[in-house]
Each structure stands twice: as structure tokens, then as C-alpha cells.
Structure 1
Amino acid sequence: MVAEKITVDLNKPLVFQVGHLGKDYEEWVHQPIVSKEGPRFFENDFLEMFTRTKWWVIPVVWIPVVCWLVTKSVHMGHTVSQVALMVVGGVLLWTLIEYTLHRFLFHIKTSSYWANTLHYLLHGCHHKHPMDGLRLVFPPAATAILCVPIWSLIRLLTTPSSAPAIFGGGLLGYVMYDCTHYYLHHGQPSQSPARNLKKYHLNHHYRMQTRGFGITSSLWDIVFATLPPPMPCRKSS
């Protein structure tokens, strides 16, 4: 007797359905539905509210925190030029974190019920509905949780006076990442480098999901040899 293939009802809340796909989840989640109308995640309205975030919330929440952190390093004795260098270093550190998370966590292969469910909440939903404008940026609560281990690591590896500025730079890099990510999906850049970056990112979504993990830059894709191959040229008739 052949087992009936499990399907997902897109008209019902998705989060607690996708886990049942098992090994088929990987194939299902990488078949995008290009619609600006995002799916419902939870039956409960309170939980559903926390899954939707407007893009402008990110700079409004985190830029004041960045300013406070940078000012703290200045007050602890560093010059403005020293702090500026630390901030740049923090931004560069974020680009590596961004690449690492995207490649090794957001694109981890799953098959069990809870692994599928968590992956869908974390990143799978974005690949399934890439134009869902309210689920393109990280909710501030999720970002705050991610900040804890990063702050702890920076504090461990740097000095008490430089850690705030470096972490502030990393947080600024994150804000740039989330705003850039939103723009690459919903903006219409007409000039480089934004136009090329949009093509680069959409190539990751619609052509080759196992390459091109950088969002704000292709730097680490170059370093770690995960650049996608060039698009084939069309022959003119």
C-alpha cells in the first residue's frame, strides 16, 4: 500500500503544517510563491502579530542603541578617529556573521518535524514567500536574542572600552543588512552597485540557493568560493 503524500494547505496557518513534510520539506520550501500577500503563520492572533515587522522598525529601534554604544567608547577615553575605526571593524565583522549564519544555519537541511518547523520560522518562510514584505526583516525581539552571544564574544576578545564601539559597528552592519535586504526585494534600483546586488540576491532565490550567501556584499562568497557561476549568455537570433 502506497502512503498518501503529505501536502500543505496554503489557506490555513502554515507553521504547524510544514513539519509534517519530513524529507519533502527541503524541496517544498525552495519552490517560491511570488506573491506580496504573505501566508498566515499561526491561528492565534497574538502569536501572529509577532511574526510581522515593517522594515522601518529596524533603524528606529537599533540606531539609537548604536549611537549609545559608540558614545560609550568615546566617554571611556577613545578618540573619535579610534572609535570610527572600531565601528568599521564591527561592520566588517557583521558581514562575516551575516554570511556564516546564512550559509550554515539558514540553509541547514532538515527533515524532522520540529527542525522543519523551526527552519521555516527562521528562514524557510522567506524562501517560500520571498516577496512577503512584513517578514523580510528580523523582529527586534529575535535580534536581541542573537545579540547576546555576539556581545559576549566581543567582550571576551576585546577590551572593556573598545567592545561597545565594535559591537555598535556590528549592530550598524546588521541594520544596513536588513534594510538592504528589504530594498533588494522591493526596490527597483536602476544603477550599479545596487542593481547588480539585486540580481545577485535574486539569483540566490530563484536559480541557485546553494550559492551567493552574501546580502550586503559578495566579499565572503569570493573568499570562501561560494560565488554562483555566471548566467549563461542568450544568443541573439
Structure 2
Amino acid sequence: MASQRFSVDLDKPLASQVGHLGEAYDEWVHQPIVSKEGPRFFQSNFLEFLTLTVWWAVPVIWLPVVAWCISMSVRMGCSLPAIVSLAALGAFIWTFIEYCLHRFVFHMKTKSYWGNTAHYLIHGYHHKHPMDHLRLVFPPGLTAIMCYPLWNLAKVLATPAAAPALFGGGLLGYVVYDLTHYYLHHANPTTAVTKHLKKSHLNHHFRIQDKGFGVTSSLWDIVFGTLPTKKALKREQD
């Protein structure tokens, strides 16, 4: 097949190439290249700039939004215990959203030109170049788009006064998720919890890529049966 004969040139922008891989895309994208510097996505310098995000942009941009949301609930009369509970609930809901996004969107199966291209830009590049330090966290524009349905979900689940704090908690959960993700790729954890999270996430990248979708927690992997078993990990290692 023509798609199987296509060869990606890593020295040229990849966004216009990966779609041509067709059915061979899934195998190609899950053969990681471990280097801190990643490839170019677009010929356009402006589009390329939009794909690059330093890790510290996440707390700098979004923590003020979290604070503003919580202050809205304060101004509308929510008590401190209620705000703490709502923010905690929002962060918990985020862990479920994180799992679902990673499992069903970021790891969707595709073989069409536009499907391959979209998947590569959303998450495939991260599996191909997992140590690319400028493409480990969500670009602000993508996060802003994601916030729109999440804000509407918060309005459905809570009262007008409670919705901002619930949304703020969810957004805080996202910030923790993205910073944790960066930390797991580029830091040397020193605690038992962070060591476990790093081991689990690196197993997902380099050993069993269709399991272990949780980044900040393995809770939903346990609930939905996607936690890699020790037997499976040993078999993969062998």
C-alpha cells in the first residue's frame, strides 16, 4: 500500500506528512524518539509558535483565573467551607475528565489523512517525542477552548453562586495535572508517591501504551480496569 511506503522526513515540518502514513500511522507514532528537542510541526513560524509552551506559563496564566473564579463565589455569598468543598469536588471531577480525554481522545485510533494529522497535533507527537520540553503542557489557546465546555458543565452541576468555585477547582486540577505531567518527564522524584507516578507514566509511554491513562492518579485506571498488571509489565519487559 502507498501509505506503508511513505517515509516521514523528520527534518521537515511533520503536520503535513503524518497523514500520509495511513494505517501505518499508529505503529509509527508509538515508536518513541527520546530527545529533549522536538521536530518542527509547521512551515509557518506563527503556527509553530502556537505549539510551543514553557511549563511555567500554566500557573502564571491559569492560577489567577482560579483565584478570580473562587472570588466570584465569595462575592455571591458562598461560605468558606462550601468553597473548599466545591473546589475539591471540581478537582476530583477533573481527574475523571483527565482520564477520559487521555483514553478516548488522545488515544483514538485513526488511519485517515485528517484523522492522523489531528491525532498527531493533539497527542501523537507526545508519544513520538515524549521528552520534548516545549510540548509537554497544553498550549494556552487549547486550554481556553477546553474551558468553555467545562464552564458550561459547572453551570449545569451547580447553582450560579457555586458554579465559579466548582469550575475554579476543576481548573486548579488541570494546573496540577499539567505541572505533574511535566515533572514526571523531567524531574527525579524523591517521594514514594511521585516515584510511583513516574514509573506508571513511563510504563505507559515505553512499555504498555494502551494502559495506565491516569497521570495525577491511578484511581480511574483501577475503576475501569486499565491499570497494567505486574504480569503484563513483566511480559512486555521480556
**TM-score, normalized by length of structure 1?**
0.96
> Which segment drifts farther, 153-162 or 99-108?
153-162
Residue 78 of structure 1: how far off its partner (Å): 1.0
Indicate the SS of the match to 1:108: coil
For residues 183-209 of structure 1, the C-alpha deviation after alignment (integer angstroms, 9 at most, x for no partner) is 000001122100110000000000011
Show the counterpart of 1:128: 128
Indicate the SS of the match to 1:208: coil
CA distance in 2, matches of 1:94, 1:232: 31
Show the counterpart of 1:10: 10
Residue 156 of structure 1: how far off its partner (Å): 1.6
Give the residue type in structure 2 aligned to 1:136: L
Show the counterpart of 1:220: 220
Alignment of 1:57-206 (within 5 A): 57-206=57-206
For residues 36-62 of structure 1, the C-alpha deviation after alignment (integer angstroms, 9 at most, x for no partner) is 111001111111111100000000000
Segments of 5+ residues of structure 2 without an aligned counterpart are none
Residue 164 of structure 1: how far off its partner (Å): 0.2
CA RMSD, Structure 1 to Structure 2 (Å): 1.2
For residues 118-147 of structure 1, the C-alpha deviation after alignment (integer angstroms, 9 at most, x for no partner) is 100000000000000000000111100011
> Which segment drifts farther, 154-163 or 136-145?
154-163
Q: How many residues align structurally?
A: 232
Q: Which runs of 4+ in 1 moved over 2 A?
A: none
Matched, 1:29 2:29: yes
Indicate the SS of the match to 1:232: helix
Show the counterpart of 2:234: 232
CA distance in 2, matches of 1:224, 1:74: 36
CA distance in 2, matches of 1:14, 1:215: 27
Q: Percent identity?
A: 62
Residue 175 of structure 1: how far off its partner (Å): 0.1
Indicate the SS of the match to 1:193: helix
> Which segment drifts farther, 95-104 or 3-12?
3-12
Indicate the SS of the match to 1:133: coil
CA distance in 2, matches of 1:57, 1:45: 20
CA distance in 2, matches of 1:219, 1:58: 24
**TM-score, normalized by length of structure 2?**
0.95
Residue 162 of structure 1: how far off its partner (Å): 0.6
Indicate the SS of the match to 1:185: helix
